[in-house]
Amino acid sequence: MSDYQAQRVVLLTQHGKEAVVGPELATVLGCQVERVGGFDTDQLGTFTRERPRPGTQLEAARRKARIGMTLAACPVGLGSEGSFGPDPFSGMFSWNTELLVLLDDRLGLEVVGMAQGAGHAGHLQTADWDQARRFAERQGFPAQGLVLRPQDQDDPRILKDLPDWASLEAGFARCRALAADGQVFLENDLRACANPQRMARIGQAARDLAQRLLSRCPACQAPGYWITQREGTLPCRRCGGPSSLWQSERWRCVRCSHAELRSRADRRWAEPQHCERCNP
């Protein structure tokens, strides 16, 4: 049985994340995720850059979890934090990483779920409404929210929470009138409540967290026993040389010092297409 069966777990959010986190954790763990309000999480950083996030993504998620636990007087809390940056393969495309941290003061542990993938973070600078409208259509507006600024991406005069086409066109006209050069900068709203792709990825992070919490340490039985890194390389079936495929996984407990190295069970060799020598 899960350690979280019927357990109250609080989530500090003002962007509706409980809608995807709650069902995922309830289904797998049997816990009751409760939204906590009363705190403006934009104080911890905004995607629109008017307030930089202090510290790392993980530190921000921890901070949110701890604030929610304090406000709700609950020993178990969740903190969700997302980030956008260049993709890890080519560095040319947007990449979204979502962390969902669980802090459990009853068991004295921290477990982190993660999901990542291509991000939906387009932008455009234009003085032409027709260009702006076509951009908005490509991005999926109004389901995908947009943020407007006069002049350029650094202008502090920000318009967001535009629910429909009429408000978008009116906002565009307003920003164009405010800009000295008539230009308007449009970008995707990266808040979870305005970015359906990101909201879905938060649900994936919740699913990952749930699976980690079902995995118990063989030494102390704490939940959260999981892979921390992959090591080694499988030998090539043809030449025996190193390949790009990992050979073993390092598992570690989040509470005690227990760790082990597990060899992968699904294969002993790598096919030649994964070999640097056979397939340079």
* CA–CA gap between residue 200 and residue 77 (Å, rounded): 21
pTM: 0.92
DSSP letter for 234, please: P
Write down the pLDDT at residue 96. Answer: 97
**CA torsion angle 149 151 153 156 (round to 10):** -60
List pLDDT tens digits, range 133-153: 999 999 999 999 999 999 999
Which residue has tokens 């962390």?
99
Element (H, E) at 176: helix 165-178
Write down the pLDDT at residue 51. Answer: 87
Write down the pLDDT at residue 257. Answer: 86
* pLDDT digit string (tens) for the chain, length 280 residues: 799 999 999 999 999 999 999 999 999 999 999 999 999 898 899 999 888 889 999 999 999 999 999 999 999 999 999 999 999 999 999 999 999 999 999 999 999 999 999 998 899 999 999 999 999 999 999 999 999 999 999 999 999 999 999 999 999 999 999 999 999 999 999 999 999 999 999 999 999 999 999 999 999 999 999 999 999 999 999 999 999 999 999 999 999 989 999 999 999 999 999 998 998 7
CB 50 within 8 A of CB 23: no
Write down the pLDDT at residue 197. Answer: 97
Give the three-state DSSP class for 277: coil
What the chain holds in terms of domains, given with CATH numbers, is 8-120+195-214 (3.40.50.10150), 123-188 (3.30.1490), 228-274 (no CATH)
Q: Among 15, 27, 83, which Cα is nearest to 213's?
A: 27
Contacts of 147 (CB under 8 A, 6+ apart): 48, 158, 159, 160, 186, 187, 188, 189
* CA–CA gap between residue 121 and residue 270 (Å, rounded): 36
Amino acid at 258: H
Which residue has tokens 């932008």?
123
* CA–CA gap between residue 54 and residue 52 (Å, rounded): 6
Write down the pLDDT at residue 99. Answer: 98
Write down the pLDDT at residue 161. Answer: 96
Q: Which two tokens stand for residue 60?
A: 């921000």
